[in-house]
Amino acid sequence: MDIGFLFGWAKEQGVKVPTKSDGSANIYELFALYNEWKKKGGESKADRSDDGSNNEKQNDKDDKPEVVELDENSELMRRVEGLSRKERVKAVENYLREVLGGKEITFHDGIKATVTGRDADKLARDTYHAEKGERRTAELSEVEKLIDAARFVKKSEVTEHNKDRFSEFRYYRVATRYKGEEEELLLNVGRNIHTNKYQFYAITSSI
């Protein structure tokens, strides 16, 4: 993601760029200031362009999040066709290890995360659900697209049963469409309490 515009916006609005302890720019805090400014109805000089079509495109981009289409004909959906729910879980876990295992995932705000074997197992087990299993399988078949389209919405304290693993949670919202029905999801990212690194470990429905 190109974040250069943030510095131009800060200069234009007279906003002091927040810094980290080492003196470098704190992009996350600066992005939060920008988002807060946008929520209050702010617009930059670039947004006030006389070109109406550009304004319309910008508004569409800001107000209408990208919807990820969950394809029934994806590679993963073909792999699990005809399998029992238990067999499907194992096939999904193997797929996730192939696609995400050992790789560093970068979310739009710069946070980098990985998927451990335990995380892949947790994500895959969610596909066992009798009612949501097929949809969750379709979601995971497009997991890379979900990550690309997801946008940070909040961070929160760790729930009690996860305190042995994580010190904080971050949530990224993404819109999806499956068989014509749209649903917003949250990609859940936790900071490992031992390594201080982030892990993508679950997908939940947005509330």
Q: Over the stretch 129-180, which tens digit does the pLDDT of each residue have? A: 777 788 889 999 999 999 999 999 998 888 888 888 999 999 999 999 998 8
Torsion angles phi and psi, residue 2, rounded to 5: -80, 115
Query: Given this model, what pLDDT does residue 27 score?
Result: 74
Average pLDDT of 37-61? 49
CA atoms lying within 13 Å on the CB side of residue 199: 24
List Cβ neighbours of 196 (8 Å cut-off, separation of 6 or more): 167
CA proximity to 34, closest of 65, 4, 64, 66: 4
pLDDT band at 55 (very low <50, low <70, confident <90, very high): very low
Among candidate residues 177, 206, 171, 173, the one with its CA nearest the CA of residue 191: 171
Rounded to an integer, the average pLDDT of 63-91 is 84
From CA 206, how far away is CA 41, in angstroms rounded?
Answer: 25
Q: Identify the CA nearest to 102 among candidates 115, 113, 121, 111.
A: 115
CB-CB neighbours of 33 under 10 Å:
19
81-135 pLDDT, tens digit each: 899 989 989 999 999 999 998 889 999 899 999 999 988 998 999 888 777 788 8
SS3 state at 135: helix
